[in-house]
A and B are shown apart, each in its own frame.
Chain A
Amino acid sequence: MKLLLDLQGALSQSRHRGIGRYTLALTRAFLDRAASEHDVRLLLNARFGEQADALIATLGGHARPTHRLVVEVPEGIRAQPGGNAWLRRAAARVMRHAIESSGADIVWYSSILEGYNDDAVLPETPPVGIASVATLYDLIPLHDQDAYLGHPRIRRWYGQNVDMLKQCDMLFAISEWVRQDAIQRLQLPPERIVNIGAAVDDWFAPPASDPAASAALRSRYGITRPYVLYNGGFDARKNVPSLVRAFAALPEALRAAHQLVIVGRAGQEEAAQLHEAVRKARLPADSVIYTGFAPDEELVRLYAECALFVFPSLLEGFGLPPLEAMACGAPVIASHAASLPEVIDKREALFNPQRVDDVTACMSRVLSNAHYADELRKYGRERAAMFSWKSVANRALDALQELAHRQSRRATVAIHDKPLAQEEQLIADISLMDGKPSDEDLANIACMVISTRKPEAVQRWLVDVSSIAEKDIRTGVQRVVRNILTHWLTSPPEGVQIVPIRFARGRYRHARRYASDLLGRTESHLPEDAIEAVNGDVFFGLDWAVDTIDAADPQLREWHRRGASLQFLIHDLLPVTLPDTFHPYARDRFDNWLRRISSIADRLVCVSRATRDELHGWLASSRLTYQFERLPVLAHSPPGVDASSTATPSQIRVELAAAMQQRPTVLMVGTLEPRKGHDQALQACELLWRSGVDINLVIVGHFGWLMESFAANLAKHEERKRRLFWIEDADDGELHAIYQASNVLLAASWGEGYGLPLIEAARHGLPVLARDLPVFREVMQQRATYFKASSPTELADVLREWLASPHRPDDQATATNWPSWKQSAERLANVIAADS
């Protein structure tokens, strides 16, 4: 059986009410029971973004991308305040299309009465070829239409939804009373309505004794005496004023010994009515306490510690609060009305809610008789244990299986096998609808239609090149982007379409011009139109898109919600691990980028194992809020190394060439920035020079940041252009020649993401003297000599020792195979493709 569960009841405004709680609890129990035997998919409304994230997190693996259908719903389709009839009807028609094209046998709506005050949307008529089932909570508005359906708009909206209910193949009533009421009021055949019941969540149980917590709770609400408790709504049918009157009518001693504690969220009008009832009852000021909304953990303790829980409702679809109270060990009495006798099947615990004296008498009996109160507590716990979500889920599953069996015997048209024809029909239907939609309305509906399509057979990898497409300033990161993307574009991974994208003008777009330039084509007028990810796509943050991540974050979250896999490449964590070596602004930007991508990523791919390990530690110590409350998977894949330099060695500038011929040369290659250890190296060389050791220190690299004083020192150094050289503008040919003419590469860096200059030096046959960092050991293995030097003196000793007995690693014995860019691109593709 293929089942589609519409979970809008747990996303919309209903999530704040019993419907949301019921939907969530039943969905969990149902998925645990049915997901192993049946194909159960979840239908979510993307308009409820963060609520959908929370639901996906709660349902875990049951809500994995392959099992969720997230429909993009236009904003402003709610029934209130109106003026959007065309858009509402069109959205409802597209929702029907989404369900029809899902391939499900049965769709189960968690709540039909949605979309008045929010942008929930249900089909206007049941989908064709699929059985429709809906949970029916009650038809109470039909009992008192003046109170609940007074305004024509709400009456029309309710009527439309009830019509939809009538057309469903099966309804799940939450109580027998609701079932009988629906049979009678909607004139439905009894066999089409099944009472599946309701239950109470597990956390409603007697709490552990905690005198301090009890005292704090009582103090917070001003509870100073044993109390009578009410929890629930405040509309007229809840009959709360009668409870106030009944409490006031208790024998004086009994009333004075108790307080009435009223819990729940009341509107202004309802609160005013409540206060009026208290005033009329002439109760002392501290006799009635109104707490407002109480969170579950407080509610459980309030239930458990009350002297009596009273529920005087006149009409109730099920009556969850009394069941919760019983589960927590409260003595409970309630109205003998509607569904409540199904919850409390003990006649003496029920009263006539229309008669205040009967309520008072029932209350008095419990409050004045401790033995009877204990008896009710015991009964309540035993009775509550009979209501479990597992049982509700089992009843629902049995009914669905029976329905599926009946449906399979019917000849149905499998229209979901013809998606194109189905979409054409949808467009034809919408275009025939009355009304004058704006261009925006049409565009919204078009986007909604697209969101209902099934994933393509070929998986798309949307490769973010936002930064490099804006400006290629030849950084190390951009070298990785160029090489990997070139290989992926020219030989894409099997079954994958590579789509370079960039974030520009408020959203992701095709980066066709950059891709064209990269491949040496001259198609400069390619359109860079907007792009949207669909379920099954992979977004890969190949570039370090630090400038766009803030603005891109909502769109990435939306894509993630839809079922796209989000993965990012991380080159290093240096601004985090060595914060003092970066400008605070750069550090904050990096930190922000890292936090944002970590919060939404499915996988973070580091260029080295060492960086991956650092990232693991950083994630463990950072309290991030993850989009689906799930940490990203960490992986590593090394970058490629350029084929041995094809640049012809060129002339080294005259004064440097002369110096290199005269004495041994220690070479440092890398941008001038604090973490590179240039200052320690220079101080070490100064010590060596003063002690008569005759060597050159050659620094090749651009100025980076936070090294102004060091650069000034270099410029006025007495050894400048004698034994100290800073080459800012070496081209590949000169660098090649410098590598060949040097004696050792000094890698004094305090932290690196990978360490490409070390590989380049080794490829030129130059010995490498490297600080003992995990990443250097990972990259160079036995092809470098490692040192630990915390001070210039120690580094001077290291250099002196090495110069005294220079040695070159045995290439044969210590051969290291660094991956080519082709191999790197393939390896990275394999990492991305794993489970995505």
Chain B
Amino acid sequence: MKSLLYFAKQFLARRPGLRRKIVNAIYRIPALDMRLRAILDQRDDLAWRRVDAHDLPEDARVVYEKLRNRMRRL
């Protein structure tokens, strides 16, 4: 849901007129407004903390590959 909303935001960012109309419409439905905002504001602390072997900063990737290559050779 969050990623769907994220893409919707990206889409609307390029269409400020449409975005304004949608935002104004949503604002008139407080429950929906709060719900959407809560979803967009959701923080997933662990998501970024989780280390992804395929998405490492360059320095870490070098060390990771050194380790992996050495262990493969052994």
Write the residues of chain A forming the contact surface with B, with a CB cutoff of 8 angstroms.
74-75, 423, 427-428, 430-432, 437, 439-440, 442-447, 449-450, 453, 470-471, 473, 505-507, 529-532, 547, 550-551, 553-555, 558, 583-585, 588, 592, 705
Contacts and interface: CB of A to CB of B under 8 A. Distances in A.
B74 interface: yes
A469 B30 CA distance: 32
Ranked 4 nearest A-B pairs via Cβ? A431-B70, A446-B64, A443-B53, A446-B63
Interface in B14-46: 14, 16, 20, 23-24, 27, 33, 37, 40-45
Contact of B60 (A443, A505, A585): A443
B48 A442 contact: no
A530 B41 contact: no
Given A470-B13, A551-B43, A427 B70 contact: yes
A529 B23 contact: no
Contact of B41 (A439, A506, A532, A550): A550
A555 B48 contact: yes
Contact of A471 (B13, B40, B45): B13
Nearest to B64: A446
A442 B67 contact: yes
B68 to A, nearest CB: 6
Contact of A450 (B9, B13, B52, B57): B57
Contacts of B1: none
B57 A532 contact: yes
B51 interface: yes
A594 B44 CA distance: 20
Contact of B71 (A437, A470, A505, A555): A437
B67 A450 contact: no
A440 B55 contact: no
Contacts of A432: 74
B56 interface: yes
Contacts of B9: 547
Contact of A427 (B27, B47, B49, B66): B66
Nearest to B30: A584
Given A431-B74, A442-B71, A447-B56, 9 more contacts: A431-B71, A443-B52, A444-B51, A447-B51, A447-B57, A450-B60, A471-B13, A507-B55, A532-B60
B67 A584 contact: no
B43 A553 contact: yes
Contacts of A430: 67
B23 A530 contact: no
B38 to A, nearest CB: 11
Given A427-B63, A432-B74, A555-B48, A443 B56 contact: yes
A554 B60 contact: no
A446 B61 contact: yes
B70 to A, nearest CB: 4
A443 B67 CA distance: 9
B53 A529 contact: no
A620 to B, nearest CB: 26
SS class of chain B's interface: helix, strand, loop or mixed?
helix
Contact of B48 (A506, A529, A592): A506
A529 B58 contact: yes
Q: Which of B23, B48, B64 has the most CB of A within 10 A?
A: B48
Nearest to B69: A431
Q: Which of B24, B59, B68, B70 has the most CB of A within 10 A?
A: B59
Contacts, number: 101
Contacts of A440: 51, 53
A771 B43 CA distance: 42
A583 B24 CA distance: 8
Interface residues of B, number: 38
B65 to A, nearest CB: 8
B48 A443 contact: no
A428 B70 contact: yes
Contacts of A442: 53, 64, 67-68, 71
Contacts of A449: 60, 63
A701 to B, nearest CB: 14
Nearest to A534: B59
B49 A75 contact: yes
B53 A439 contact: yes
Contacts of A450: 57, 59-60, 63
Given A442-B53, A529-B55, A585-B23, A447 B43 contact: no
Given A443-B52, A473-B13, A530-B57, A584 B63 contact: no
A555 B55 CA distance: 15
Contacts of B58: 529, 531
Nearest to A586: B23
A584 B27 contact: yes
Nearest to A708: B24
25 contacts: A427-B63, A427-B70, A428-B70, A430-B67, A431-B67, A431-B70, A439-B68, A442-B67, A443-B53, A446-B64, A446-B67, A473-B13, A506-B47, A531-B57, A531-B58, A532-B57, A532-B59, A554-B43, A554-B45, A554-B48, A584-B27, A585-B27, A585-B33, A585-B37, A588-B37
Contacts of B68: 439, 442
B45 A446 contact: no
Contacts of A592: 41
A385 B61 CA distance: 56
Contacts of A531: 57-58
A506 B54 CA distance: 14
Contacts of A585: 23, 27, 33, 37
Contacts of B67: 427, 430-431, 442, 445-446
Nearest to A430: B67
A585 B66 CA distance: 49
Contacts of A423: 63
A554 B48 CA distance: 8
B71 to A, nearest CB: 5
Q: Which of A75, A440, A449 has the most CB of B within 10 A?
A: A449
A506 B37 CA distance: 18
A447 to B, nearest CB: 5
A555 B37 CA distance: 21
A445 B47 CA distance: 18
A705 B55 contact: no
Contacts of B56: 443, 446-447, 529-530
A449 B20 CA distance: 48
Contacts of B71: 431, 437, 442
Nearest to A706: B24
Contact of B20 (A427, A470, A705): A705
A597 B67 CA distance: 38
A609 B69 CA distance: 56
A457 to B, nearest CB: 15
Nearest to A527: B58
Contacts of B13: 470-471, 473
Q: Which of B52, B53, B57, B64 has the most CB of A within 10 A?
A: B57
Given A470-B10, A585-B33, A443 B27 contact: no
A439 B56 CA distance: 12
Contacts of A584: 27
Nearest to B71: A431
Contacts of A445: 67
A529 B61 CA distance: 10
Q: Which of A505, A506, A553 has the most CB of B within 10 A?
A: A506
B27 A583 contact: yes
A233 B6 CA distance: 51
Contacts of B55: 505, 507, 529-530
Q: Which of B37, B40, B55, B74 has the most CB of A within 10 A?
A: B55
A449 to B, nearest CB: 5
A710 B69 CA distance: 68
Contacts of A447: 51, 56-57, 60
A583 B70 contact: no
B43 A550 contact: yes
Nearest to B74: A431
Contacts of B27: 583-585
